[in-house]
Structure 1
Amino acid sequence: MILMTKQPIQAAATNREKGKMADDLTCAVCSEAYAAGNREPVMLPVCGHTFCRLCLFHVEGSSSFNCPTCRAAHAGPSVVRLPTVYALLNLAESYRKSNRSKCSEHGSTLEFWCRECREPLCGHCLLGSHVREGHQVVKAKTFVDEKSKEISTRGAQLEKSIKDKKVTLVNNIKNLITRITICAEESELLNTSVEKAYGILKDNVKASSIESVLVSSSMMDSVVMELHKLSLISSFREENGGRTRCKSRTETEVIQGLDRQESISEVEWQVLPVEETEQTAPPKEQEQEAAAARGISRVASLENSREANLPEEHAPAGQASNRNENPSNSSIGAVGGDQHDTPKRNETPWPLKCCVITSEGRNGRLKWENNSIHMYALAELTDAHLMFHMSLLQSLIPSDKPEVFMDLRVDGRILGRIYIRLQGHLRRAQHFLALCLGTLGPSYRGSKFHGVAKRGAPGETLAGGRYVTPEGTSGKGLMKDLEWGGKCMQEKAVGRVVGASGGKSELDAFFHICTRDHEGNKFACSFGQVVSGMEVVHSAVRQMNCAKSVIIADTGVTIPSLLRQQ
């Protein structure tokens, strides 16, 4: 009997001690336990009584107040300036933690978990009812381990779900930027076609010979072909299939591609109403001009044709277009007009132009070429209508294998474009990418290739890298600790893009493009590979053999499209 009565007596004593401690750790005004924040304990310096800060805020007057317990006057610092009693605060936190692991009825440690009642148990609770009633009880540690493993599994699933949703969101953003860039490209092509058609129809009114009529017909076929391109660009956004790389071509091949013509009979025509415009010509010429305008509306309203084949690629960037001079001040109906006219209120600017912009205000063109977005080196453009921040577009560039492009020019004519895939994990590749984009200031745009190393021999290379600065040219590196030698050494093979600094930081911007294999020999630091346009590189070597200057007319980076991968 003594053993049976001793336990309840001890439990009662423990409960009384716990009750007294709980009273000491609660505010006498609100009876809430002290806690960090508004409920932190503060002491009145005159009487030494402690309350939570929030309750003292409520009793604080304009200058003084009385202690809620002993009514002693307090005229010291304001409540907000009274120091926190951290010893009492820490004790309250420790008490809460210990109380959570003790049985509120028996004061014993909670060592078990009842799966049916879904509550923690001490030994007395276990023997009292749960075992007799056949409940499934496990040790607290078993339950904690099971729950911890479950939480870890669910956390991993949640993390994967969040990552997947993030990838989807980023892809949606990339597709949105792609579609906007394509729309801008379409507006430029449409604007050019309308200007050309206007000029053709205007000349056709005055045509009086077979030769002039045939010339006009041939030029009109060319405009129709350009509108076929517009239709195919539009259909590209809707079709599924794999992304294809269009090979870079020489200037002659590009011209041959642009000269391809389609029969007008293969295209369906749709007549649209033409907006009336003010006429300044004589009556007879007014009728002729109106007929020309109606013809233009028919050209501009061609329905999309998906049966034609898109030429392998657009003319290289920088190549002069065959535009006619801008038309007169007369409007060209609802399709377009003089691109230099000031847009009217609520009128869309035309043609649309996209660019990337940095926090410093520098920007670069965005173009849709070769089935991907091309982001050109930064400059000081001001006429773009749609702008995307550089940080956003940089996040869409593949970090492991970024791809840059360079347009090469000789004596004012474009040789073609080369694409270089970089080894993104190398700092030297990131340095090269920065010089192609101009993100660190200067860029390779406008720089010259300065020589051909080992001309005609194995291991021949085209040498470049003197970027342009306001003070002249420089080959100094813009980043530190660029790789040289070691694991970066690779065999001399055609298309390799390699460092040419000799390990010297003042020449870190120099690079070579290998044009002849040299088996058994290695470059000290290879960081990229030409994936398209090696014929352009070979052409550049031939031009330099003739003592001609080869210039990087433009450069930038590509952002792959996902439109055809979904």
Structure 2
Amino acid sequence: MASLLYTDDLTCCICLNFFDDPVSLPLCGHSFCRKCVTNCLSTSSQCPQCNETVPTDEKYLRSPSDILKSLEEKAAKMKIEHEEMQECLCPEHEEKLKFFCETDQQLACVICRDAEKHEGHKFKPIKKAAVSLRRVLEKGVEKLFTDVLAIERQAHAQREEITTTKEKSSHLNTQINAQFEKMYQFMFKRKEEIKKELIEKEREAVEKMSANLNAMETALSESRATEAKARSCLEMTDPEKFLQSWTEGTSTTMPESLFNSRAIKFQVNSSSISLGPYESHLQFFVWKELLEVVNPLPDDGLLWGPLWGKKR
């Protein structure tokens, strides 16, 4: 790599890189990258290296000899090769990497191979290890490609199943709403019918009991009036006035009959209101009626849960 010592002579003093499209100044002969020196001469009329006055017009810039151009190309190539070689050196021992540790799956130099941390490890020369690894990777890539296709098919099938499940769920949701709406309508209708029946029974019972109460109140009023008249007459000591007061406005009914008990003629009517079987087992009998209006659905294997008890 001794030739790298001469790379300074092939380096542009402006950008400090190897010449790129090198040109020379007419008087002093110093060489620069065309772009670098053009930019400098746009603001100054002196050579960037020796301060020699030079024309600012680009037409005075001369192309270097073919030898310089060839050397510039070779130097650039050598620099790239040198950098690549530097990259292949062991970062710990600065020795060339010649082996591949299969145990640790890393490149190693001679010193690394003999070091204690790699004791008992399996090593291969880099080229041989690369061939082996290439074969493994080629087979692995084929297997992965096949596996990727299989997973893609599975993922596609899974997406379709998700879509199908959502569609079935939407269909069942509509179906559930329709079925419950039908049950709601039936239940509401039966509720109104049973309530109407209850109201009618209440009307009949109250009407009968009200008639009995009216008769009781009439008898009570008549008895109180007779009692009051009798008490008033009993306060009179004059026989003529006593008889005259009692018979005035009184019917020809014998007095004894007016004091006969009238309470024994009446009986308190108890409530006769009843809904029959609906009174004690309303839910059971309405449920039985509900069964008659429920139409079983085709068995699609999807209706289950607390509402249905088990999978149908």
Decide: shared fold, TM above 0.5: no
Higher Rg: 2
After TM superposition, the score normalised by the length of structure 1 is 0.23
Higher relative contact order (Cα pairs below 8 Å, separated by 6+ residues): 1
> Between Structure 1 and Structure 2, which shows a larger proportion of helix residues?
2
Question: Which structure features the higher share of strand residues?
Answer: 1
